[in-house]
Every structure is written in structure tokens, then in C-alpha cells.
Amino acid sequence: MNSALRSLWDEPRPPDPPSRVWRDWALLGVLGAALVLEGLFRPDMPWRVLSVVVVAALLPTLLWRRSRPFPMFLASFGITAVVTLLTGGAAPSAYAMAGLLLLPYSLARWGSGRELVLGVGLVLPETALSVALGQKSVADAVGGLVVLFATVTLAAAVRYRARARLRELDQVKLLEREGLARDLHDTVAHHVSAMAIRAQAGLAMMPSQPEAAAEALQLIEAEAARALDEMRAMVRVLRRDEPADLAPNPRIADLGKLASRARPFVDVTVSGDLDDLPPSIGSAIYRLAQESVTNARRHARHVTRIEVRVTADDTSVRLRVSDDGEPGLVRPAASPGYGLAGMIERAGLLGGTCEAGPNPGRGWSVTAVLPRGGVAA
């Protein structure tokens, strides 16, 4: 129990809370308008003028409920408690007060663990004191606490789900980095191996060469062997003791394997000068196309055709995968899904971009643009 409380107390605030958006201002406007209408047309409201003034003063706290959840909750709770005390138990009773339930929700969703503990710790004694002084009945107090804890529980569930999704996205990005590291390793290892072979050939010809050349060749061989050892060690760590994948890296020339006459029909077209592309770029184009075709087959409804287009110019390579699926369908990639997150990660590591979205007419498209020369990961 102590460890659970300590873990809750040490829980940090979630990173990057959303900033104010137009919906916050719209919510504030709707609640404000409802409050004005209540003040004008609800004569049975206790302490009508005071209730309208107090609730109107509290509504702006909703604008900072994500960035400063604890101060906003504390201000709302403190002002309401003081007004209840001054009026002998008549708390502000405007219906617009229901919107202030977003404050305890935001405290549990965006606040730290200690802020949540302190917030709940303030509510419980205040509720007990109100019951003891006769300002609230037991039924009203229990009902209020039930609503409060239901709101906090909902926020905690949303917070947990968001954190789980972030972990899953981080895992997808890590796996994509591992895949790119393998591709880069195979590419670099090929060139370094060539250096080692040339150095050995130079050593074999050493009798006919000056001593300086022989010494330089020895240095080249030593550096090449050391680089190979370091690359193998890095990949072993990245693979986390998984068996090595000895299959050759796919290239743009392998895109023809994605073509299919079966439904949905997959049409692959490659144009432009692609002869001197770095292996990492060619492999990335193939992986992105493969993932896009798989997503179209898996998620598109009533799709009959998938087009894969690869074009190259002097500076970049462009991939576009589109289908003719049923319009209006929200794909999992639009969330964005984990597959799209991995594709964006791979393209970004190579200095490019990857985007996905619905076509103007029907269907879905994935577009990736990678620099022709590639960049260091």
C-alpha cells in the first residue's frame, strides 16, 4: 500500500499538454451564455446575483485547466468553499457549474501525482466539515463525492491509455530504427570490407612498393577491421539478442514483387534515373511501399486497384501509393496508426517526409519523398 501511494505521489505530469484551442473558447462561450440565460430566466435560483457573479468568475479557469490544472482546481474549490461558508451553506447553484467538473478531470488527466493527492485531500475534509456543520446532508455529500471520483476515475483511465499508446509508438519507432540500423550496417560493412580487401592486396604487393605505402596499408587494414567489429557489436545490441536476418536488403528493383494480378490489382511503375541510389534509400522506398500496400489490402473497403509509383530526379526520390477504396472510410493510419508512425520515423531518419490521407475523390494515398543522397541517421 505504501509503495502504491509513493508511486502515485511521485507520478510526474504528462508531457506536452494541449494548448488552448478554439473548442475551449467555444465551450467558455456556451457556458457563459447559459449562465446569463439562467440569471435572467431562473428566478428560483438561490442567491441569484451572487451565483452568476461567482460562476462567471470561475469559468475562465477552464482555459488553463490543462497547463495549470492544480492552481485552477484550487481556485475553483477555494472560491466555492468561501462562498458556501459566507452564505451559510448555499453554494452557487447555477447549472453552468457542471462545466467546472472539467477541472477535477483535468487535474487527474494532466496534473502530477502529488497535485492529485493534494486536491483530493482538500475535498474530503471540506465535505466532512460541511456535513458536520449541517451545511450539507449526508446524501448530498455522498452524491457529490461519487460524481467527483467518477470524474477522476475516467480521467485516470484516459491518462493510462494515452501513456500506453505513447509506449507503443515509442516501441514502433525503436523497431524502425533497428531496421534502418541493419540496412546502414550492411551498406557500410560492404564498403569497409572492400577497404580491408584492398589493404590486404596492397600488403601482398608490398615488396614492390615503398615502406610508407606498406605502413599506410597496414593502418587501413587495422581501421577497417576495427570498424567492422564496432558495427557488428552495435547491431548485436540493437537486435537485442535476436537472430540476425541474413536475407539481402530489398531494393527498388524488388518492387516488382509487390505487383499482383489478383484482386486488388497492384500496379507498380518506376521511372527516372535510379541506378546510383544509396542502398539505404532504395531499401527505405521498398519498405514504405510494402507497408502501404499491406495497409491498403488490410484496411481499404471495396478496393480493386492499388497503384505504386516511384519517380526520381536529381535531388529526390518520390513514392506514391494510392488505392480506389470506398470514400469516407477512416483508416487506422489516420489516427495515426503504428504502421504510419514507423513509416514517418524511417523517412525522417533519412531526411525525408511521409504523409498519408484520403484522395479528393475516393481512396487513400501515401506519399513519401526522400533525398537522393540520403543523410546520416
The answer to whether 58 touches 103, Cβ cutoff 8 Å, is no
Does residue 213 belong to any structural domain of this protein?
A: no
Among residues 91, 110, 135, the one where a domain terminates is 135
Does 30 map to a domain? yes
The three grid cell numbers given for residue 181, joined into one nine-digit string: 540500423
Could you tell me if residue 13 is inside a domain? yes
Q: What are phi and psi of 10, to 5 degrees?
A: -90, 0
* Residues comprising the chain, all counted: 377
**Residue pair 102/94 in contact by the 8 Å Cβ criterion:** no
Average of per-residue pLDDT across 286-313: 87
Say which residue the cell 473548442 belongs to. 23
Would you report the helix, strand and coil content of the chain in percent, each value rounded to 5? Answer: 65, 10, 25
Domain count, the chain: 2
Residue with cell 475535498: 123
Last residue of a domain, one of 102, 135, 168: 135
Instruction: Compute the distance between CA of residue 190 and CA of residue 224 in angstroms, rounded to an integer.
Output: 11
Report the b/e string of 129-151 with b at 16+ CB within 10 A: ebeeeebbeeeebeeeeeebeeb
Average pLDDT of the chain is: 78
- C-alpha cell of 256? 516488382
Is the residue at 296 inside a domain?
Answer: yes
Going by the DSSP 8-state scheme, the letter that residue 242 receives in this structure is P
Domain range holding 115? 1-135
pLDDT value at position 369?
93
Q: Tell me, what CATH number does 311's domain have?
A: 3.30.565.10
| C-alpha R_g of the chain | 32
Q: Is residue 167 part of a domain?
A: no
Residues near 214 by beta carbon (within 8 Å), at least 6 away in sequence? 202, 203, 206
- Three-class DSSP category at 269: strand
pLDDT confidence of 45, banded at 50, 70, 90?
confident
Look at residue 322 and give its three-state secondary structure.
strand
The CA distance from 356 to 343, in Å, is 10
Residue type present at position 129: L
Within a domain: 225: no
Of 90, 106, 135, the residue that ends a domain is 135
Structure confidence by residue, pLDDT tens digits, 55-102: 888 889 988 888 899 999 998 888 888 887 777 766 677 777 888 888
Q: Convert the pLDDT of each residue in 207-256 to its tens digit.
A: 776 676 667 677 777 667 666 665 664 555 455 544 444 455 678 888 88
- Reading the block at residue 222, the C-alpha cell is 587495422
- CB-CB neighbours of 343 under 10 Å: 27
- pLDDT confidence of residue 234: 54
Is residue 368 within 8 Å of 343, Cβ to Cβ? yes
Pairing of strands 364-371, 316-323: antiparallel
**Three-state SS at 64:** helix
**In this structure, is residue 220 part of a structural domain?**
no
Burial class (CB in 10 A: 0-12, 13-18, 19+), 194: exposed
What does pTM read for this prediction?
0.52
DSSP state of 260: B
Would the pLDDT of 338 be above 50? Answer: yes
Cβ atoms of residues 302 and 268 within 8 Å: no
Share of the chain above pLDDT 70, in %: 76
* 184/310 Cα distance (integer angstroms): 22
CA distances from 77 to 55, 103, 195, 277, 325 (A): 12, 10, 72, 63, 52
Give tens-digit pLDDT for 355-366: 988 888 788 899
pLDDT tens, 93-103? 777 788 888 88
Q: Which amino acid is at 83?
A: V
Q: Which residues contact 61 (CB under 8 A, 6 or more apart)?
A: 72, 75, 76, 100, 103
Distance CA 325, CA 345 (A): 26
Q: Does residue 153 lie in a domain region? A: no
Q: Residue 317 has what pLDDT? A: 92
Is 61:96 a contact under the CB 8 Å cutoff?
no
Report the side by side order of strands in the sheet with 316-323.
265-271, 305-312, 316-323, 364-371, 353-358
